[in-house]
Chain A
């Protein structure tokens, strides 16, 4: 059961801040978009399966459509050929959206310091949480999801319209 936020309780009512309730709801229902490209994708399949179930964190429904997803999990190497596709998928996602970069290749290019591999997806999209590992164990992926949950819980309403956030997106060239 999720922990209820702080508030004033009485017979038939519970008063608390709207932000806390929204944070609680968002945190426990993050729908991921698994952008699985290579080996980390297989570890993600192991995370989704029954042993390390991701569904108990609220991510039961995987959404492959960017418009219906909250969290973009980029798992695996992103080659330069794939970069524009990743960018398009990120731009199609609706706010609020979080990005989880799973694996060494997505975070920084990994062991592939070559001409054809993008050395980290933070060159093209803003990233919230990085999960290192090659591939990371399912427990590490779950911890990454939990950190995104903490970010989602504590985020203020106004963040996505604030000038700092807009400046961040503009630095990537995203409107």
Chain B
């Protein structure tokens, strides 16, 4: 018996050592990678043995660009970080500057900000979840749920004029009250979206084919997720309930009651379900914000950052000078350094700002969640098949703009 076991072991060892791996370039342009990043895969047939990622194909030098621009002009750059939910990035940047200025924002403006941020969170999760569906072959969900993104875009357009890269709001709040048509659209959205989301859920959530493909596909344990500094839905799917809105509340999130969905095994199905539930919770938050909306001004009293009303600009010398200085970006910010984080669509989006008292930042660093958690991707796909690796990547919601900055 022992001798045959030894012979067996020798035979197996030889077979193992003779295996040849093939190299597959999952190149920068690939239909399934949503965004451009390259993975050179070492494969044994269909199973992935090792992966070497290369990123930087859309590096646009945001941090250096930000050192050149006055504070109000940096907002368009922050738009293009996670461009699926750009209002969250904008608001995060405004809150960072307001922290540096130690400004107090009126409650009404904060509630409006919450409504915008939750709408954009819904938009981001719609893309991610419908694209997970597309990667498993279910095109229908994508085609029909995108209609609701158009409705969200219309709401953004009413407020700021742009659909995708919004540059919404101002440092200190919003420039004016929202029109009645905006509120009509928001109320119509809240009334009709639950039905569409239920349809989308019925398509995929308990669908046997979808569940078979996504359960146990690319799992990650909670300890590994924490050591790779995961945040956001990916970490919550692994079991840790870390949400910046709950832990370090900003912009009056402490006034709202909502649950934070948490998964168990960190696989693709858990990530999908966490995002689905977050969409439902976002709808709840928007409803609460509309119900409890306080009265008050829409912007903080920051004459150095906020354009004065036009009647005063045409009649009053001081207002004219302020207007000129603000538009030309000549306002000086106090010296200091501050770190502020918000819960973006993908996790903790942090802004580390060092100001030396001038009109542009001395150093601005974006703590980008995608960049940090994508490092774990080669570990997560070891030993699984190629199509499952594609699904894992799309369920992690890697946005190229946030990856490379």
Contact = CB atoms under 8 A, between A and B. Distances in A.
A in complex with B? yes
Given A76-B58, A79-B60, A115-B61, A42 B83 contact: yes
B142 interface: yes
Given A43-B164, A112-B61, A135-B165, A82 B28 contact: yes
Contact of B401 (A38, A49, A81, A134): A38
Given A39-B164, A81-B56, A112-B60, A50 B29 contact: no
Contacts, number: 90
Given A42-B84, A49-B146, A64 B400 contact: no
A77 to B, nearest CB: 6
B163 interface: yes
Nearest to A49: B146
Nearest to B401: A38
Interface residues of B, number: 37
B59 A51 contact: no
Given A37-B400, A81-B56, A45 B61 contact: no
B27 A37 contact: no
- Secondary structure of the A side of the interface? loop
A117 interface: yes
B150 A81 contact: no
B127 interface: yes
Interface of B: 27-31, 34-36, 56-61, 64-65, 76-77, 79-80, 83-84, 127, 142-144, 146-147, 149-150, 153, 163-165, 400-401, 404
Given A41-B34, A114-B61, 16 more contacts: A35-B29, A37-B36, A39-B165, A42-B127, A49-B147, A51-B146, A51-B150, A77-B58, A77-B60, A82-B36, A85-B29, A111-B77, A112-B65, A117-B61, A135-B163, A135-B165
23 contacts: A37-B57, A38-B58, A39-B83, A41-B35, A42-B84, A43-B163, A43-B164, A46-B150, A49-B147, A50-B146, A50-B147, A51-B147, A79-B57, A79-B58, A79-B404, A82-B36, A85-B29, A85-B57, A111-B76, A112-B61, A114-B64, A116-B59, A116-B61
For the complex of A and B, list the 9 residue pairs with the smallest distance between their C-beta atoms, beginning with the closest.
A49-B146, A114-B61, A39-B83, A64-B31, A82-B57, A112-B60, A50-B143, A116-B59, A51-B150
